[in-house]
Amino acid sequence: MEIIAALFMDDINLRPVPGPSTRIDLGGIQFSAPAPAPVPCTVAPHLVVLVWCPDDGKSTGALEVTFRMSDAAEDSEPMARNVQALEIEPGKFNYRLVRADLAFEQYGTVVAQCRIDQGPARVVPYTLLPPVTA
């Protein structure tokens, strides 16, 4: 199995089209967001991970997503971690939604490290900005 994309987003909608096909509409793709309140605060962005299983691929696996501050050491304790079982028919695509409560002590960038079965990581950044004042 392979991760073909991973993005932070607001909405996901599946829509059928004629034939054996489906469209995935993603809305509100984001790489940053203003904090809901001054730090320290907790946010819970939604991450979608799109996965493909090649025709000759293994149809089961484990998706692991680890969230760390971008300046944190690789061996540091993660802010959050999510592991989900995957089962995808060879030659097909699927997706998984990942939501984590991320406690920010300061504004900055978190990276979501997405991997299947301890394979190479796909890294997706998410930056928390100061709140917007009226």
pLDDT at 43: 96
pLDDT at 5: 96
Q: How confident is residue 74, by pLDDT bands cut at 50, 70 and 90? A: confident
Token code pair at residue 132: 């917007």
Q: How high is the mean pLDDT of the chain? A: 93
Comparing 34-43, 73-82, 87-96, which segment has the lowest mean pLDDT?
73-82
Comparing 11-25, 36-50, 83-97, 105-119, which segment has the lowest mean pLDDT?
11-25
Return d(Cα 60, Cα 68) in angstroms, integer.
Answer: 26
- Site of tokens 């054996």: 20
Return d(Cα 33, Cα 70) in angstroms, integer.
Answer: 16
Asked if 118 contacts 23 with a C-beta cutoff of 8 angstroms, the reply is: no
Residue 79 has pLDDT above 90, yes or no: yes
- Average pLDDT rounded to a whole number, residues 128-134: 90
Residues 6+ apart with CB under 8 A from 126: 8, 30, 31, 32, 33, 45, 109, 110, 111, 112
Q: Are strands 32-34 and 122-129 parallel, antiparallel or unpaired?
A: parallel
Asked if 95 contacts 51 with a C-beta cutoff of 8 angstroms, the reply is: yes
Cis peptide before 125 (omega within 30 of 0): no
> The domain 2-129: what is its CATH number?
2.60.40.10
Q: State the amino acid at position 84 in one-letter form.
A: Q
For 2-50, write each residue's pLDDT tens digit.
999 999 999 999 988 888 888 899 999 999 999 999 999 999 999 999 9
Residue 129 has pLDDT above 80, yes or no: yes
